[in-house]
Structure 1
Amino acid sequence: MRLSTNQVFNSHVSSYNKGYAELSKTHQQLTTGVRIQTPADDPVGSARLLQLEQQANLLGQYKANMTDATNSLTQEESILKSMINVAQRARDLAGHAGNGAYNDHNRQAIAAELKQIENELFGLMNSKNASGEYWFSGSQSGIQPYVRNADGTYSYQGDHSQQYLQVATGTQISISDNGFDAFESAKNVSRTETRLDTAGPNGQRLYLSQGTVATQRDFDGGFRAGAPYRLEISGDAATGNISYEVYDKNNVLVPAQDGGVGSYDPTLENPKISFLGVEFTLDAMLKDGESESDYATLLDGHSFEIGMAPDRFATVGSSASAQITDSTVVDADAYAAGFPAGGVTLTYDGAAYQAFAQPGNAPIPSTFDGVSNTLTVAGVEFSFSGAPVAGDQFSISADSQENQNILNTIAQLRQALEQPADGIEGGNLRIREAIATALGNIDSGMMQIESTQAHIGARLNSIDTLTLENESLSVYNASTQSLIRDTDIAEATSRLVLQQTKLEAAQAAFMRVSQLSLFDRM
C-alpha cells in the first residue's frame, strides 16, 4: 500500500491531537481534583453521582425542616409553660377563696384577679407564630382557636388535626398541637348533678352539692351504669344518729362497700359522703331557735336525686337585639337520637325560628312557640329574649360534660365568686362546691397541658436522634461522592507522565519520519 506524504501528516496530526487531549484531560483532573468531568468519562459513576446529589439535597432539606420543627416546638413549649404558671396562680387564688373568714367583698377581689388570669389564658391559647398563624387551631391555622361566647363561656373552633414536617425518609413529625388535644380533653370532675326530691317535715335543712369525680375508674365502672340514684337520709331522734342509703335506678341498694350505706355527722366541718367514685358535700343549716341536737329530727326524710350532668350548649349568635337565654334538654331520648353531632344553626325568617343541621345545612323539624318565645329542636328547648330581626342566626353546638377546658373552669369559678353568698341560704355550699370543682378541674387542665409538654419533649428527642442520623448519612453521602468523583492523585500523576512520554516519543518519531526523502539516498 502506498502512503502519501499527506496521509502521513494527517495520521500524525490525528494521533497527536488525541494524545494531547488525553494529556490535557489528565492535567485538568489533577488541577481540579475531579475525575468525572463529563458523563462520558464514567457513565455508571455519573448516574450514581446524580443519585447521591439528589439524596444530599434531600438530606439538606430534612436538616432545614428539623431546624424549623425544633424552633416551632420550642416556642410552643414556652407558651405551654406560661399557661402552667398562670393556671397555678389561679389554683392558688381558688384555695384562698375557700378561707372561711372571707366575705363577699374578699371573694369579689379574688374574682377580679381571676378575670385578668382568664384574659391572659385566652390570649395564650390564641397565640400566633411569626407567620401570623395560630398555634392551637390544628390544620386550620388561619382560624382563631378560641372564641368568647355571649354567655361568657369559651368554645374551640379549630379541628383535631396537626401540622407536620417531613424530617426523614418515611418520617413526619408534628410541629404543633391542636387545642382539642391540649385543652379540651381535660377530664371534668363535675359530671354529676343533684336535686332535692323531698325535704324534711320542717322544710329543707340539708343541701347536697353537685358532686365531684374522685376516682375515675369507679365512676366509669360503677356510677354511670346505675344512674340516676336516690339518696335517702334517716335520723333517729332517740339516739341522734343520722344515716343515709343510696339506691340505683332500679331501686337496688348500693352495697356498703361501694359507699351506698353510711352515717352522716352534720357537725363536722365540710362533711362529705362518697360512693362509686363520686364525692358529695352535705351541708346542714339550722334556723333560729334550732340546735345541733335537733339535727336528727330536722334532717330525717330528706331525699335527693343524683344523676349524670346533661350536655351544655355553646351559642354563637349574630343578632344585635335577640339572644338565647337558656338551652335545656326536655326529651333525653329525642336528644340522644336526633341532635346533630355537628350542632345546629337557628335562623329567624321574619316569622319564626328555623333549625338546620350542621354540617350540610339540612332542615330539622322544630316547633316554635311565639308566646313563650321558645324553639324545640331534637329534644332541646331554646329560650329567646329580645326582638329578633329577619336574618338573625345562632350557631349551637353540644358540649359534653365529660371534658372541660381550663378557660371555662376559671370563668365558672370567677362567676361563682362574683355572686353574693353571705346570709343566703345554701350560699356557703355553693361557694365550697365551686371551689372544689375548680381545684379539681384546674388540676385536670394542668395535667393535660403537662401531657402535651411531655409529647413535645418526646418529639424534640426524636428530632435530636434524627439529626444525628441525618448528619451520619450526609457524611457517608459526601464520602461516597468523593470516592466516585474525585481524582486519584497518584494514579493520575503516573498516567500524566506516561501520556507525556508517549506524546514526546510520537513527536520525535514524526520528526524523523517527516525528514525522510528519496533524494537523500541518491
Structure 2
Amino acid sequence: MLRIATSQLYQQGAKAMNGGQLALAKVQQQMATGQRILANSDDPVGSARLLSLKDELGRYDQYQRNIDVASGRMSLEESTLGDAGELLQRTRELTIQANNAPLNDNDRRDIAKEIRQIHSQMFSLANTKDGDGEYLFSGFQSRSQPFVLDANNQAIYQGDQGQRLVKAGPTLDVPASDSGDEVFRGALNGNGSFRVAATATNTGNGSVAVGSVTDPAAFVGHSYSIAFTSATTFDVTDTTTGTAVLSNQNYKDEGSIQFAGLQTAVSGNPAAGDTFTIQPATRQDFFKTLDDLATALETSGNTPARGAQLNQALANGLAALDQGLEHLTGVRAKAGSRLKALEEQTTVNGDFTTHLQQTINDVGGLDYAEAATRLSKETFTLQVAQQSFVRIQNLSLFNYMR
C-alpha cells in the first residue's frame, strides 16, 4: 500500500491553491485591461503580430502629428500670402492714382509715404514666425531671419531655397513651406518676358510701353535699343549680337513697333539722341518694386523730361506689380493644393487607423463572455483547493483512532 507523507499532502495542497490564485489573478487582469494577451507566452504568434500592428499604428499616429504641424504652417503661409497680395493690390491702386491724377510734388510724396509703409508691412510679412517661433520663409534656416535691409534699404535674403517635407503617409511627402526666395523674390519684372526702360540721360519727354510678345516662336530673348536719330526717326539694334534690326523708321506717337516676335510703342516727344532699351525679364523682389515706386514719386521736378521719367517708372512699376500679383496667386494656389492633399490624407489615415485598431482588438482583445466563464471556473477551482487544504490540515492519527 502506497503511503503518502503528510508534508507531501501539504505541498500539493499549497501548490494547487497557488496555481488557482495565479489563474484567477490572470483572468481578473485580462478583464481589467480588456486584453487577452498579457505576456508573449500567452500566445507567441499573436503577440508578435500585435507588436507589428502597434508599431504600424504608432507610425500612423506620427503621420497625423506631422499633418497637424504642416497644416498649421501652411494655413499661416496661405494667410500671409493673402496679406501680401492685398499690399501689392493697394500699391497698384496708388500707382494708378499717381499716374492718372493731376498731382503736385506734395501729393506724390504723400503717396510715396504710404508705399513706404507698405514696404515695411511687406518686410514684416516676409519675416513671419510660426507658433514655435520659427521663421516661415527661411527655407531650412528656420531659426534665422530670412530678410534684412542693407544701408540702401535693399532687402537681402539670408535663408535658403529649401522646402520642408513632411511624411503625411507611407508614400506621401508634402512640402510644408515655401522659401522667401521663391515667394518674395520669384516674380519677374516687365511683362514677364522682357522689360523696357528709358535711358536716364534722355532729354525728351518720350516713354516706352511695357509691350508684349506677339510671336513666341520668333522671340529669342535678346536685348535691343530703340535709338532716336532725330525727333521723327529711330533705329532698332540687337545689342546682344550688335546687328541692326530696323533702320530709319518714321516715328508715330504710340505707334506699334514690332520686331523679333515682340511689340512695344513709344509715346510723347522723344528728342534726338534719346534711347529706350528692351532686355530679357529678370526676377525682381517685391521690396525693390515698392522702393523704386516710392523713390520715383519722391523725386521732385516738373520738367517734361522729369515727367517722362516718372511716367516710365510708374508704368514699369505697375507691370512689376501685376507680375507680382500673378506670382503670388500661383504660389498661394500651390499652398492651397497641398493643404487639400493633407486634408484628404487625414481621412485616409483615419480610416486605416480604425482598421488597425479593429485588427489589434481582434488579435489581442478579450472575449468578455468567455473570460467571465473562466473567472467562474477558476474561482470554483480555487475554492475547492482551499477547502481540500483545510481538511488536510485537520487530519491527524487521533482522527483515525476515534
TM-score (normalizing by structure 2): 0.81
1:263 CA drift (Å) = 5.9
- Equivalent residue, structure 2, for 1:415: 295
Q: Is 1:273 paired with 2:264?
A: no
C-alpha displacement at 1:182, in angstroms?
0.6
For 1:4, the equivalent position in structure 2 comes to 4
Q: CA deviation at 1:9?
A: 5.1
Q: Do the aligned partners of 1:56 and 1:477 also contact (CA within 8 Å) in 2?
A: yes
Deviations 1:307-330 (A, max 9, x none): 537xxxxxxxxxxxxxxxxxxxxx
Q: What is the distance in 1 between the residues matched to 2:130 and 2:17?
A: 68
Matched residues in 2 for 1:520 and 1:109: separation? 122
Aligned length: 394
1:166 aligned residue: 167
How far apart are the structure 1 equivalents of 2:106 and 2:329?
Answer: 34
Gaps of 5+ in 2: none
Hey, what does 1:212 align to over in structure 2? 210
In 1, distance between residues paired with 2:138 and 2:383? Answer: 77
2:313 — aligned with what?
434
The answer as to whether partners of 2:205 and 2:304 remain within 8 angstroms in 1 is no
> Alignment partner for residue 451 of structure 1, among 330, 335, 342?
330
1:75-224 to structure 2, matched below 5 A, reads: 75-99=76-100, 101-189=102-190, 191-193=195-197, 207=206, 209=208, 212=210, 214-215=212-213, 218=216, 222-224=219-221
Matched, 1:406 2:286: yes
Q: Tell me: CA distance 1:216–1:128, structure 2 relative to 1, closer, same or farther (3 Å).
A: farther
Question: Where does residue 488 of structure 1 map in the other structure?
Answer: 367
Gaps of 5+ in 1: 236-241, 255-259, 286-298, 310-400
Give the Å deviation of 1:90: 0.5
How much does 1:499 deviate? 4.7
Residue 216 of structure 1 and its aligned partner are, at CA, apart by: 9.0
Distance in 2 separating the partners of 1:500 and 1:206: 107
In structure 2, the residue matched to 1:308 is 279
Quick check: 1:145–1:179 contact (8 Å CA) kept in 2?
yes
Q: Distance in 2 between matches of 1:76 and 1:415?
A: 30
For 1:274 and 1:92, the matched residues in 2 are separated by 30
Say yes or no: does 1:479 pair with 2:358. yes
Q: Could you report, residue by residue, the CA deviation over 1:162-196 in whole angstroms, capped at 9, with x for unpaired residues?
A: 23433333543333221111121101116345659
Structure with more contact order per residue of length (Cα contacts < 8 Å, sep ≥ 6): 2
Q: 1:19 to 1:142 in 2, by over 3 A?
A: closer
* One-letter amino acid matched to 1:413: L
| One-letter amino acid of the counterpart of residue 308, structure 1 | Q
Q: 1:501 to 1:452 in 2, by over 3 A?
A: same
SS in structure 1 at match of 2:268: strand
Question: Does the 8 Å contact 1:273/1:282 carry over to 2?
Answer: no
Cα distance in 2, alignment partners of residues 438 and 410 from structure 1: 8
Using the TM superposition, give the Cα deviation of residue 88 of structure 1 relative to its aligned residue in structure 2, in angstroms.
Answer: 0.8
TM-score relative to the length of structure 1? 0.64
Identify the residue that residue 375 of structure 1 maps to in structure 2. none
Counterparts of 2:101 and 2:94 in 1: how far apart (Å)? 14
Q: Kindly tell me: are residues 193 and 463 of structure 1, through their superposed partners in 2, closer, same or farther at Cα, counting changes over 3 Å?
A: same
User: Does the C-alpha gap of structure 1 residues 415 and 278 become closer, same or farther in structure 2, counting only changes over 3 Å?
Assistant: farther
1:283-298 to 2 correspondences below 5 Å: 283-284=268-269
| CA distance in 2: counterparts of 1:185 and 1:26, whole angstroms | 67
Please tell me whether the aligned partners of residues 207 and 312 of structure 2 are also in contact (alpha carbons under 8 angstroms).
no
Distance 2:311 2:381 in 1: 104
Deviation at 1:52, TM superposition (A): 2.9
| 3-state SS of 1:431 partner | helix
Secondary structure at 1:308 match in 2: strand
Aligned counterpart, 2:54 = 53
Q: Name the aligned partner's letter for residue 488 of structure 1.
A: D
* Aligned-CA RMSD value: 3.9
Equivalent pair of 2:166/2:174 in contact (CA under 8 Å): yes
Structure with the higher fraction of residues in strand conformation: 1
SS at 1:191 equivalent:
strand
Distance 1:34 1:414, change over 3 A: same
Letter paired with 1:224: G
In the alignment, the residues of structure 2 paired with residue 32 and residue 129 of structure 1 have an alpha-carbon distance, to the nearest angstrom, of 41
